[in-house]
């Protein structure tokens, strides 16, 4: 079947999905709402009010949309997938109920505890339990991890090395910037992180190339947590044995538990894992959507008909024949950020050199936070500005090509990590 697809979102993840959907043999039409200046090269960008689900439904009907792919978590939390399904439109993206696996850390931790899925020990504290959380933290072993119980774009987590740092994080979440819905306090997990993406149809699923993100802002995993400063795939850390263990002990029981609880997961289930030295792993977090920037690397090595894969999952029977290979070669993604991110940064800074960087056919430059001015100049518009993604026969080749392209792209506030994918080469 030929698909007429509306993709929802505007970041690097959506740009990567848009390129892969556009490449799909079964993709007849691709729109993206709202999209961004990079996505505009592969899809028709449409200005829709994404909070007005009735308007989105009407737009889909008027344009004979056969499949909606929802990129980010915010519309999923707001029930966009539910409202589209009620209207008879197929959606790749979970219901509001199933999306709680990401939107409520407490929901996710409770589901894991009930089903014996390995994760760090934890306690939840409600919006009015600042004092109880403080008392608990005061006697907790170090390091201790403090998480805001809601969506915080990867920035609501503090790994505290001292009790005073932990108390300061609680103060920030309860009385400072966040205005807590509550917090989760959990134990520290040792190991190396990996991101697994399971494309799910509610019951069955298939796993794409394992990736590794780099969440801290600074080289050597120092500084604040960010949404992710770079990624690569496939990650050699996730050997066949590691993947099989995680599949059996984490993915399969989680997807089964959601279905058994009456909220089957349709979409991309993202398992953020801590892989331990013995090859077992624990869940650091679940997300209800693809990871960003990991998806930029995962899609670069994906070979197959992504539109057919997503459409089949959305319709309840995943068609793995749509996949030729989940890992054809290696890909490295380096995020070019605005200096200052994840705190305050300047916007509206002129960007040059993207076309020159893409003269190397191994390179795709995904737009994450860019805008076009009235006279057509590309400028920065976000903390993560571009995702420079290179494909290579080896990880080393991809890494070298990515950094060479990063050198060619210029904006005065450009900031990047210089050690993306080094762990994969070690």
Where does this chain bind ligand GLY (CB under 6 A)?
Answer: 154, 213, 227-228, 287, 291-292, 294
Near ligand AMP by CB under 6 A: residue from 154, 182, 234, 304 = 154
Tokens of 4: 């007429």
The contact mask relative to ligand AMP for 214-233 (x = CB under 6 A, - = no) is: -x---------x--------
Q: Which of residues 101-120 bind ligand AMP (CB under 6 A)?
A: 120
Q: Which does 284 bind (CB under 5 to 8 A by kind): ligand AMP, ligand GLY, none?
A: ligand AMP
| Among 183, 129, 131, CA closest to 152 | 183
Q: Which does 294 bind (CB under 5 to 8 A by kind): ligand AMP, ligand GLY, none?
A: ligand GLY
Does residue 210 belong to the site contacting ligand AMP (CB under 6 A)? no
Does residue 189 belong to the site contacting ligand AMP (CB under 6 A)? yes
Nearer to ligand AMP, 79 or 191 (CB): 191
Percentage helix, strand, coil for the chain under 3-state DSSP, each rounded to 5: 35, 30, 35
Does residue 40 belong to the site contacting ligand AMP (CB under 6 A)? no
Q: Which of residues 118-137 bind ligand AMP (CB under 6 A)?
A: 120
- Are the C-beta atoms of residues 351 and 370 closer than 8 Å to each other? yes
Q: Which does 391 bind (CB under 5 to 8 A by kind): ligand AMP, ligand GLY, none?
A: none
Q: Which of residues 232-291 bind ligand AMP (CB under 6 A)?
A: 272, 284-285
Nearer to ligand GLY, 379 or 422 (CB): 422
Tokens of 395: 């990880």
- As measured in angstroms, the least distance from the Cβ of 13 to ligand GLY is 7
Which region among 73-81, 124-132, 153-161, 169-177 touches ligand AMP (by CB under 6 A)? Answer: 153-161
Tokens of 104: 């409520």
| Among 241, 235, 273, 269, CA closest to 117 | 273
- Separation of alpha carbons 27 and 298, rounded Å: 19
Cα–Cα distances (Å) from 283 to 222, 342, 375, in that order, read 22, 24, 47
DSSP per residue, 196-259: EEEEEEES-EEE---BEE--EEETTTEEEE-S-SEEEES-TTS-HHHHHHHIIIIIHHHHHHHH
The contact mask relative to ligand AMP for 339-368 (x = CB under 6 A, - = no) is: ------------------------------
Pairing relationship of beta strands 265-275 and 192-202 according to DSSP bridges: antiparallel
- Are the C-beta atoms of residues 347 and 382 closer than 8 Å to each other? yes
Does residue 186 belong to the site contacting ligand AMP (CB under 6 A)? yes
The H or E element that residue 82 is part of is helix 80-86
DSSP per residue, 370-388: EEE-TTS-EEE-SSEEEEE
Nearer to ligand GLY, 14 or 213 (CB): 213
Near ligand AMP by CB under 6 A: residue from 59, 107, 188, 403 = 188
Nearer to ligand AMP, 59 or 178 (CB): 178
Does residue 163 belong to the site contacting ligand AMP (CB under 6 A)? no
Q: Which residues bind ligand AMP (CB under 6 A)?
A: 120, 145, 147, 154, 157, 159, 186, 188-189, 193, 215, 225, 272, 284-285
């Amino acid at each position: 079947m030929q698909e007429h697809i509306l993709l929802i979102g505007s970041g690097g993840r959506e740009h990567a999905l848009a390129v892969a959907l556009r490449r799909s043999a079964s993709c007849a039409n691709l729109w993206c709402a709202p999209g961004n200046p990079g996505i505009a090269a592969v899809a028709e960008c449409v200005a829709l009010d994404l909070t007005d689900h009735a308007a989105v439904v009407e737009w889909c009907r008027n344009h004979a949309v056969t499949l909606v792919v929802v990129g980010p978590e915010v519309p999923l939390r707001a029930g966009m997938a539910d409202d589209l399904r009620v209207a008879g439109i197929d959606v790749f993206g979970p219901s509001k109920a199933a999306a709680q696996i990401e939107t409520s850390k407490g929901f996710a931790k409770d589901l894991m505890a009930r089903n014996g899925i390995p994760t760090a020990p934890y306690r939840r504290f409600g919006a009015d339990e600042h004092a109880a959380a403080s008392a608990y933290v005061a006697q907790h072993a170090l390091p201790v991890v403090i998480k805001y119980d809601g969506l915080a774009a990867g920035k609501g987590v503090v790994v505290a090395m001292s009790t005073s740092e932990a108390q300061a994080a609680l103060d920030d979440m309860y009385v400072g910037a966040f205005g807590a819905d509550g917090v989760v306090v959990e134990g520290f997990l040792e190991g190396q992180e990996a991101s697994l993406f399971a494309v799910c149809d509610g019951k069955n699923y298939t796993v794409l190339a394992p990736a590794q993100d780099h969440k801290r802002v600074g080289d050597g995993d120092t500084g604040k947590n960010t949404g992710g400063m770079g990624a690569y795939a496939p990650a050699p850390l996730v050997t066949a044995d590691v993947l099989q263990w995680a599949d059996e002990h984490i993915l399969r029981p989680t997807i089964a538990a959601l279905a058994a609880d009456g909220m089957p997961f349709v979409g991309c289930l993202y398992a953020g894992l801590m892989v331990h030295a013995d090859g077992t792993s624990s869940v650091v977090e679940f997300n209800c959507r693809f990871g960003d920037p990991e998806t930029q690397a995962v899609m670069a090595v994906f070979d197959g008909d992504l539109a057919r894969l997503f459409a089949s999952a959305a319709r309840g029977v995943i068609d793995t024949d749509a996949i030729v290979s989940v890992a054809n070669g290696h890909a490295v993604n380096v995020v070019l950020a605005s200096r200052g991110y994840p705190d305050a940064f300047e916007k509206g800074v002129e960007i040059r050199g993207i076309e020159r960087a893409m003269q190397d056919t191994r390179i795709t430059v995904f737009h994450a936070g860019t805008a076009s001015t009235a006279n057509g100049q590309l400028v920065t518009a976000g903390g993560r500005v571009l995702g420079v993604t290179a494909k290579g026969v080896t990880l080393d080749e991809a890494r070298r090509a990515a950094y060479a392209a990063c050198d060619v792209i210029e904006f005065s506030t450009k900031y990047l990590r210089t050690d993306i994918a080094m762990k994969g080469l070690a």
